[in-house]
Chain A
């Protein structure tokens, strides 16, 4: 047996187990769809695995301004939420872009963020929406912007003994566009997320498949003004996005192809938010 499994019944017990473990000794399991392949391929070799399955962190609460999602909510529960589809189509699309449905029945929102995968489809849309994460530890819960939580691929600012508890997502108009070889069970060559903050009148653009980890594109954001940017503004925004990005080539796509995708998908995503049906802006 490569590891033993612990399944604490409370957050306090989970944190105590985390604090008692030596470095690299213990891995946290939510849905397991990313951790278990890593264990199989020897990228990590924990002696103990801490399962979160008995923790009740599965809230899915809407307020007039935001969606609160418990860290252990399976992605499939999000895509089956009719209000999510209506109010945040970009987040709905991004959730559906992860793996296949059978994977999304196990994979959790919290797991996706804590694993901080360079190819996550959820990180760009949650960055564009300016999501915040609640971190649970021995001292209680602290909250910080997702952007601060994500440090680099596979690295977050979780302190020792901390667990991702919840994600708070402002309910804003948004869109998500991706390009890949197969629609399901594949990794996006490029993904673009766009959101509009009606209060500040600000646009947010984030991309994945460009830098080592999904990131905001500040130059592209600055090119857009007001609730209904013109087609010329949108073209300028897409051009800036394609130029400013530190694009890399890998086995999934070349640098020139990624820049073409970036220009096309940024423009499409911004237009999708600008031209959204009135209902989804409520």
Chain B
């Protein structure tokens, strides 16, 4: 019952067995070995599992892999090779925008998606659209600095 599927993740093709009911989060972590994407709540409340599908942020815990298997998927592992993703990573490094780091992949992927969609978004708009990402360490101040610095550098 697990038919093979072809996926396109971080600019390269993968071939894997894929049960119909499998979540994108589980496919990425356990079939493709891309464990940068984190499982936080698994109920759509925390944003830790955020990946980009066709350039738009989605919660991989609430997405069936089969529903998006024909689209380009970008995970935190692919950010360094992505021009926008790279600037986001640099901004987070610059401001040490993390504490334990568990929420970081979700934040940097979500922010990369936002900047791709709205390259000239203001810091306030970016912060508002990042409200779906939670940091259980409450390390928001350094994350905020990274986001604001990035937005200012781009405009």
Contact = CB atoms under 8 A, between A and B. Distances in A.
Q: Do A and B bind each other?
A: yes
A36 B62 contact: yes
Contacts of A39: 21
Interface residues of A, number: 28
Given A1-B2, A5-B20, A32-B62, A99 B67 contact: no
Contacts of A103: 44, 59, 62, 132
B76 to A, nearest CB: 14
A101 B118 CA distance: 13
A32 B20 contact: no
Nearest to A96: B128
Interface string B22-56: 01000000000000000000111111001001001
Nearest to B134: A185
B129 interface: yes
A3 interface: yes
Nearest to B23: A36
A246 interface: no
A106 B2 contact: no
Interface string A39-76: 11000000001010100000000000000000000001
B17 to A, nearest CB: 11
Contacts of B134: 185
A101 B45 CA distance: 11
B19 interface: yes
Contacts of B62: 32-33, 36-37, 103, 106
Contacts of A183: 131
Given A183-B131, A185-B134, A105 B67 contact: no
A62 B43 CA distance: 34
Given A105-B57, A106-B62, A185-B47, A100 B132 contact: yes
B146 to A, nearest CB: 18
Interface of B: 1-2, 19-21, 23, 42-47, 50, 53, 56-59, 62-64, 66-67, 110, 113-114, 129-134
Interface of A: 1-5, 7, 29, 32-33, 36-37, 39-40, 49, 51, 53, 76, 99-103, 105-106, 182-185
The 3 closest A-B pairs by CB, nearest first: A100-B132, A184-B131, A5-B20
